[in-house]
Amino acid sequence: MKISIIGAGNIGSTLARKWAQAGNQIWFGVRNPSDPKFDDLRPLGQVCPVAQAVESAEVLLLSLPGAAVAEFAAQFGAVMDGKMVIDATNNIRSAEMNNLAVLQEKAPGAHLVRAFSSLGWENFAEPSLGGQPIDLFYCGEPTSQAAADQLISEIGLRPIYLGGLETVGLVDNLTRLWLQLVFTHKRSRRLAFKLVEE
């Protein structure tokens, strides 16, 4: 798949490494493509302006600060038409953790998925714990499920689809639970959730 990473920080670069290894074509949409801090990423894909990355993609990963999504969506909403857009961004100090509302408003033709938002990036870099793959609970438009399952599996995680975007509160509550365990209980960031069933 042609995947563009918007925001090449912890989350964006970690997922891009795995997706490049799996044979996907990667673009990194960044504000200053000539910045030497992106030199590590150049072997994985093209480091380019955000507009070029959005144009080039079949799949967009939004991995920029949550506060920057509204401006991004206003600028590129129309170009996201027909593309799968994975919102991994969080607004940790706001009542609404995700940015789906502004994406639905500005990019009504995008196929939205809410994934990779509920665990720390370290768990995507090393996607197993206790000898088992980590589960990634996510939601999104049903037509995007097969592609999302594949992209999640390529990271080494086990995808657990919760349903359409109306279930986003469940995903975001897992983020809150993860943050609570890490920060309030002073546990390691290497923790995740597992669905066990008969």
4 binds ligand NAP (CB under 6 A): no
How far apart, in whole angstroms, are the C-alpha atoms of residue 72 and residue 106? Answer: 9
**Stretch touching ligand NAP by CB under 6 A, among 64-72, 106-114, 152-160, 161-169:** 64-72
Does residue 50 contact residue 72 with C-beta atoms inside 8 Å? yes
How far apart, in whole angstroms, are the C-alpha atoms of residue 107 and residue 100? Answer: 10
**What are the tokens at 98?**
């995700």
CB atoms within 10 A of CB 34: 7
**What are the tokens at 114?**
């809410």
CB of 197 to ligand NAP, least distance (A): 25
179 binds ligand NAP (CB under 6 A): no
77 binds ligand NAP (CB under 6 A): no
Site string for ligand NAP, 87-116 (x = CB under 6 A): -xxx--------------------------
Residue list 16-35, contact with ligand NAP (CB under 6 A): 30-31
Nearest to 144 by CA among 112, 181, 102, 105: 112
- Three-state DSSP class for 164? coil
CB of 120 to ligand NAP, least distance (A): 4
Q: Which residues bind ligand NAP (CB under 6 A)?
A: 6-12, 30-31, 50, 63-66, 68, 72, 88-90, 117, 120-121
